[in-house]
Copies of this chain bind each other. A is one copy, B any other.
Amino acid sequence: MFSCRIEAFISGTGAGLHFEFEPVGVVHSCFKEKFGIPRQAGLAVDAPARIELMKDCRDPATVRGLAEFSHIWVIFVFHQCLRRGWKPTVRPPRCGGNHRTGVFATRSPFRPNPVGISCVRLTGIHHQPPRMELGIRGGDLLDGTPVLDIKPYLPWADSRPHACGGFAADPPLQRMTVSFSPEAEALCRRREAAGLPDLRRLIVQILSLDPRPAYAARDRDDKHYHCRLYDLDVEWSVSRRRVEVLDLRTIIDGD
C-alpha cells in the first residue's frame, strides 16, 4: 500500500476545494522547445519520446499488462504555460489566429488548469532497474513534461469517429512540401548514420505541418525560422507553401 504517494487532498468545500498532484513520470522527447511541436498528438507519427516513471511508480507491477495495448493516454501538465495565466478566450491557429474562441472550446495550453491529454502509440516498456521507461511515438510533448497519469486507450469507449469537431473538425489540411538544401541533406544523413535513423522523416513530418504562427502563415514571409529538435538547431524558410530546410547545426551546451 503506497498511501504516502497520494498527494491529493481536500482542503475545504466549494470555493476552497483544491487538489495537489505529484508527477508519476517525466517525458524525454525530441522536442526541446515549444516552437515546432505538432498542435495535437498523432500528427508527427514518428516523433519518438520516453516516459520515465518516478518513485513508487517505477515498480514494474504498475505497468503489468500495459504492453497488450497499442495506444495509451498521457495526462500531463503544460509546464511551460504555468506562469502566463489564462484568458476566457484564445485565438486558435486553426482559425487564422484572429478569431477569439472560448478556452474550453480549444485545446490551448493556456487553460484554467493547464492539463493536457494526448493519445500516443506505446512502442515498448523498458525496465532496467532502477529505471522504468515507456517508449512512445506520435506525441506532441515537450521535453521535461511532467506526467500526471497514464491510462490504456480503450477504443470502444474513447473512439468516437463520428463526433462533430466544430472549427477543428478535420486534421490540419495543407501539408507543405519539404525539401532540404544540399548542406542540410548531407548533415541529416550524417546524423541518421550516427544514431538518429528517422531524422529526415521526422523533420519532414514536423515542418510539413507549418509550425509558423498564424499571422506569418497569412503573409508574405521571408524569415528564417529555427526550431530545436534533439540537440539540433533546424533552420528553414518558407516560400510559396514549400519549406526548405537550410541548415542543421548541432547545439553545444551553453549555446
Q: Chain A residues in contact with chain B, CB under 8 A?
A: 1-3, 5-10, 15, 17-24, 40-43, 54-57, 59, 61-66, 68-73, 75, 77, 79, 82-83, 85-89, 100-107, 111-115, 117, 119, 146, 148-171
Q: What are 19 A-B pairs with beta-carbon distances under 8 A?
A: A2-B87, A5-B86, A6-B83, A6-B86, A8-B82, A8-B113, A18-B20, A21-B113, A43-B157, A61-B102, A63-B105, A64-B88, A64-B89, A70-B163, A71-B160, A107-B154, A117-B117, A155-B162, A159-B163
Partner of A68, one of B5, B57, B167: B167
Contacts of A107 in B (CB 8 A): 151-152, 154
**Nearest chain B CB to A34's CB is how many angstroms away?**
17
Chain B, residue nearest A53 (CB): B104
Partner of A22, one of B18, B111, B155, B160: B18
Contact A66 B153 (CB under 8 A): no
Contact A152 B69 (CB under 8 A): no
Contact A160 B158 (CB under 8 A): yes
Chain B, residue nearest A172 (CB): B156
What's the number of copies of this chain in the assembled complex? 2
**Nearest chain B CB to A117's CB is how many angstroms away?**
6
Q: A56-B88, A100-B64, A152-B105 are in contact. Are A41 and B6 (CB under 8 A)?
A: no
Contact A18 B17 (CB under 8 A): no
Contact B22 A17 (CB under 8 A): yes
**Bound form: Cα–Cα A7–B168 in Å:** 29
**Bound form: Cα–Cα A63–B89 in Å:** 8
**Nearest chain B CB to A4's CB is how many angstroms away?**
8
Contacts of A158 in B (CB 8 A): 119, 158-160
Contacts of A63 in B (CB 8 A): 102, 104-105
Partner of A159, one of B3, B70, B150, B159: B159
Contacts of A149 in B (CB 8 A): 104, 111-113, 115
Contacts of A62 in B (CB 8 A): 88-89, 102-104
Contacts of A69 in B (CB 8 A): 105, 163-166
**Bound form: Cα–Cα A6–B112 in Å:** 6
